[in-house]
Amino acid sequence: MKIESVEILGKKLQLQLGLKTSELQEVNRKINKRLKSLMVEYPNLDKIDILSFYIVELHEEMYNIKTKLAKEEKRFVKISGKLLSIENRIKKEIEKLDIETFE
């Protein structure tokens, strides 16, 4: 992994992540855009408060994604069960046809 530089709230950071340079730059742009937006929205908050607010916001977003993923996984398991049931019925029908053919 390569060490990359980003700038957040005027502070340069060096990070070693598994992201491509272009991906890291996009993440950096999104972070700075949202932080600037929060600073305009909450002008009385200092940088630490803004970062704390942003962390909570990101946590909420991750929680929502995790919840959505869990629902999708349940749906997938249900669909897989139905497909397995259909497969078993088809196999039984094929076996019946094979038995009838040989009689």
Domain limits, the chain = 1-41, 46-103
User: What is the sign of the dihedral through the CA atoms of 84, 85, 88 and 90?
Assistant: negative
Counts of helices then strands in the chain (DSSP H, E) = 2, 2
Interval 54-74: pLDDT, tens? 999 999 999 999 999 999 999
pLDDT at res. 103: 61
Q: CB burial class (10 A; 0-12, 13-18, 19+) of residue 8?
A: middle
What's the pTM?
0.71
